Structure 1
Amino acid sequence: MRVITFNTQGIEQAADNGFFEWMVQQDADVVCLQDLRAKEYQLDDKRFHPEGYEAYFFDAFEDGYSGVAIYTRVIPKAIMTGLGFEQCDFNGRFIQADFDNVSVAAMSVPSGLKSDEAQAAKEEYLQLLKGHFTKTLRKRREFIFCGPFHIAHKPVDLSNWYVNQKVSGFLPQEREIMEAIFDEMGYVDAFRQVNHVDQQYTWWPDYNKARELNEGARLDYQITTANLRKTIKSASIYRDVAFSAHAPLIVDYDL
């Protein structure tokens, strides 16, 4: 089972840059997209609906803002949207597809880079999301959560980490959330389970040559429940073509 997650930063922009042509070539089973910046009714064009895939969307209430989608080759048993709190549901930040033995979710955490207020909203969101991860442990099925957390987990996940310790995305309180998810709750960072290479980033700042120089951060994740640990076979980041400032994260599972 191949799962791809990608923060589009605007699905129309990503399509213009050739994302969907690339996606079809990857033969993925499930593709999770975030930050669509468009509503479902605006995406009727066939280029947003590649042959062989069913598409499911969860729109943000505000026009031109956020939104998530799941593309899948197999029709899910159920689709769930939202997590029951305003910061998520109003902004279209969570959609989940339930299959026979596993659920796959496209989700996103807001960035805190713009202002102190944005950072406070991000930290509140993370606490609420942490509560959902806790409740998920009580469910009798496996889960794969896909999307940007806008947090680099460890120094290996961020270039120039030492000078960025007071910057949103690498703050101690943010990294504590990641530690709680992985260490205390037992969830698995699918990428790092099988790929231990340094300087593996999924996002680069919007300044000249950042991507070329590989000065970035690994902000995008596929996080699985513990029982899926041994099913993770390979993980990679595609960076040959810049569909957005983020790069697609590809993980293969033996499911």
Structure 2
Amino acid sequence: MKFVSWNVNGLRSCVNKGFYEYFNETQADIFCVQETKLQEGQIQLDLGEGYHQYWNYALKKGYSGTAVFTKTEPLSVRYGLEENTEPEGRIITLEFDAFYLVTVYTPNAKRDLSRLEYRLEWEDRFRNYLLQLDAHKPVVICGDLNVAHQEIDLKNAKGNRGNSGFTEEEREKMTMLLDAGFTDSFRYLYPDKTDAYSWWSNMPRVRERNVGWRIDYFLVSSRLRPFIVDARIDSHIFGSDHCPVVLELADLT
């Protein structure tokens, strides 16, 4: 099975910057997007026959939002954590026969860290939610997790220490999630690979010089490790300040 996750930073804009071409090229079984930044009815996405579409829109216009496009119709769909609702449109869970798929756009702590406390509370709730799912079936988690976990996951670790996305608190929450029984698929296959990033600032020549961060992930329940065939970062794909990340698993059925 092939999974793709992409923070498109505005789907309507990304559609005009190669989204359809990449989508058709990948032929993913499940394709997830984050930061759609639109409301219901603002786009009619023509993905051709064979894909079921599930959308979680933020109440705030032009903000956040997630979607999942899947060839296989899920057994159930959930929007939110404790409640089946998520006002910022940050999460969708699809249940399939052999696994759960969760796509997520994790809240940013903000540059001044004014949302760090909320972010850390979210992390605890999210981890508990994933553990509840994992008690029933293995879980595939993807999305923009808004954290560079280790120093190897960003270009300038020393200069960014303590900044949003690289605070000790955020990094520790990621460690806690992995220690709870989940695996970072990319690092599982490529533990020492450097200069592998999925997000770049829009400042001049930053992406050209590959001064980036790896903040987009595919995590899997650790018992799925034997099924990991490939995990990659399609950094050659433009259209957003993030690039797509890809996971391939052996058939779980």
TM-score by length of 1: 0.93
Report the equivalent of 1:31: 31
Tell me, in whole angstroms, the C-alpha distance in 2 between the residues paired with 1:41 and 1:67: 14
**Amino acid in structure 2 at the alignment position of 1:208:** P
Asked if 1:132 is matched to 2:129, the reply is yes
Report the equivalent of 2:5: 5
Report the equivalent of 1:190: 185
Tell me, in whole angstroms, the C-alpha distance in 1 between the residues paired with 2:49 and 2:3: 17
Tell me, in whole angstroms, the C-alpha distance in 2 between the residues paired with 1:113 and 1:212: 25
Asked if 1:238 is matched to 2:241, the reply is no
Asked if 1:157 is matched to 2:153, the reply is yes
Tell me, in whole angstroms, the C-alpha distance in 2 between the residues paired with 1:213 and 1:239: 12
**Amino acid in structure 1 at the alignment position of 2:181:** G
Question: 1:173-199 CA distances to partner (integer Å, 9 max, x unpaired)?
Answer: 11111111112x120101111123211
Conserved? CA contact 1:202–1:219, under 8 Å: yes
Report the equivalent of 1:61: 59
**Amino acid in structure 1 at the alignment position of 2:55:** F
Unpaired runs of at least 5, structure 2: none
Aligned length: 250
**Amino acid in structure 2 at the alignment position of 1:186:** G
Report the equivalent of 1:141: 137
Tell me, in whole angstroms, the C-alpha distance in 1 between the residues paired with 2:137 and 2:20: 30
Tell me, in whole angstroms, the C-alpha distance in 2 between the residues paired with 1:77 and 1:50: 22
Conserved? CA contact 2:234–2:243, under 8 Å: yes
1:135, distance to aligned residue in structure 2 (A): 2.5
Tell me, in whole angstroms, the C-alpha distance in 2 between the residues paired with 1:14 and 1:84: 31
Question: 1:47-82 CA distances to partner (integer Å, 9 max, x unpaired)?
Answer: xx3433211111111111111100011111211111
Runs of 4 or more consecutive aligned structure 1 residues displaced over 6 Å after TM superposition: none
Tell me, in whole angstroms, the C-alpha distance in 2 between the residues paired with 1:243 and 1:84: 34
Please state which structure has a larger fraction of its residues in helix. 1
Query: Percent same amino acid among aligned pairs?
Result: 28
Tell me, in whole angstroms, the C-alpha distance in 2 between the residues paired with 1:85 and 1:175: 26
